[in-house]
Amino acid sequence: MARPRKFDEQTVLNAARATFWRDGYAATSVQALTEATGLGTQSLYGAFSSKHDLFIRILDDYRARQAAGLAAAITADPSPWHGLTSAVTFEDGGRLDLPPQGCLMANSAAALSAEDEQVQALARRAYSDTLALFARQITQAQENGEIDADVDPEQTARALIAVMQGIEFLHKSGIGEDELQLAKTAALEMVERSVAR
Amino acid sequence: MARPRKFDEQTVLNAARATFWRDGYAATSVQALTEATGLGTQSLYGAFSSKHDLFIRILDDYRARQAAGLAAAITADPSPWHGLTSAVTFEDGGRLDLPPQGCLMANSAAALSAEDEQVQALARRAYSDTLALFARQITQAQENGEIDADVDPEQTARALIAVMQGIEFLHKSGIGEDELQLAKTAALEMVERSVAR
DNA sequence: TCTGTTATGGATTGTTCACTCAATAACTCA
DNA sequence: TGAGTTATTGAGTGAACAATCCATAACAGA
């Protein structure tokens, strides 16, 4: 009953996500989005209402994919504890690599949470989902006898999230590859010592 | 031999720092700076060359003050280890409070390091100074018999920096006061367990 | 083949951006 | 007192910003 779209929505969303991810929300202009997606301004606004609406939609998609991917990667490891620490230190031999531009959710949360309620809500959701995932994994590691049965799963999960985000921060702050590797090793050793049986 | 300035440079720098700190570099307009400082555009440009030059100068000042303040706060504690952990968890009963807008250096490093070499250089300097300070403090805590003498001071310092930045990230991401407190406690307990004698 | 609906394309809106120009004012030293 | 130097003032630069207007195009169902 109406003119059909010439573009594939998912393809457009992927291109827009790459642009937001590379440059950040504020530094991404609508013109950059039209160039990256190939859409005209009016098509883009017609389909996604505004730059902000488009971004929120992309960020929520990202959050869901990230949560699923993280859960899959962690639980795929035969050792629950190793699967978890690999994620925390982004050291899974390539499967959980930390992209040069960092995590889109972490970047957006740090830059926008204070002034954008929708971003903050997504950040909180990502945090609580990760917390639950990590706590479950820690419980399994305890049942497997890999770590001390006395540590509190949820509290340990919180500490691991802090460590993970700290490493990501060091990565983004540009301290250098060698120093970053040392920091990852140091963090991992601290974590291991704290849960040793 | 020339017309004297009507403004006090340090007062202007303080006002500009507050503005950059509150809104971030990109979101701070030159107009916002002139309003915050009371200077006209031309006076501001005459004294500081450009928005970027002004920012770099402010950031370097901040770095130096922060380094001195951190060292003073940490070493003032009668217990080297407690002084250190108080700083890491921003939990010194007010002395090392984490401002709502986070640390100016951490914010700037996360947002700008990738694209601004001068910011990256300052971030690296801040990191290595903090690393040296923490490592010295850990050695003292070991000599005091507060923690395990076998842990490597420099590696432990790296882990602590990661934890500290992770906590700051959680703060900025807006997870909420209660949850942040739980994360701080969790991180502290993990750190304590990892260095227990 | 019409009619209704949505998509597209290009030009354009007013606003804000960092920054500059030209004129004048305020000082010091000779 | 006048020459030299720098500070201040206010208006204004072109470029980029998010978003919109309007005319036209492409489809579905009647």
- pLDDT tens for A123-152 read 999 999 999 999 999 999 999 999 999 999
Whether the CB-CB separation of A38 and A7 falls below 8 Å is answered with: yes
Q: How far apart are CA A83 and CA A77, in angstroms?
A: 5
Q: How far apart are CA B4 and CA A72, in angstroms?
A: 67
Tell me which residues of chain B have a pLDDT lower than 70: 92-96
Q: Is the pTM of this model over 0.85?
A: yes
Q: How far apart are CA A55 and CA A17, in angstroms?
A: 8
- Nearest partner of B29 among B15, B19, B39, judged by Cα: B19
> Cα distance from B108 to chain A (closest Cα, Å)?
9
Which two tokens mark A30?
A: 């609508």
Residue A93 has pLDDT above 80, yes or no: no
According to the model, what pLDDT value does residue B2 have? 81
Q: Which chain B positions have a beta carbon within 8 Å of A176's beta carbon?
A: 124
Whether the CB-CB separation of A153 and A135 falls below 8 Å is answered with: yes
According to the model, what pLDDT value does residue B92 have? 66
Q: How far apart are CA B181 and CA B184, in angstroms?
A: 5
Over the stretch A103-124, which tens digit does the pLDDT of each residue have? 999 999 999 999 999 999 999 9
- Nearest partner of B157 among B183, B127, B181, B185, judged by Cα: B127
Over the stretch B29-55, which tens digit does the pLDDT of each residue have? 999 999 999 999 999 999 999 999 999
Over the stretch A24-66, which tens digit does the pLDDT of each residue have? 999 999 999 999 999 999 999 999 999 999 999 999 999 999 9
Residues 19-58 of A with CB under 7 A from strand C: 39-43, 46-47
Q: Which chain B positions have a beta carbon within 8 Å of A26's beta carbon?
A: 26-27
Q: How far apart are CA A81 and CA A147, in angstroms?
A: 8
Q: State the average pLDDT for chain A.
A: 95
Nearest to A159 among B106, B124, B186 (CB): B186
Other CB atoms within 10 Å distance of the CB of residue B171:
22
State whether residue A102 is helix, strand or coil.
Answer: coil
Residue whose CA is minimally distant from D3 C1': B1
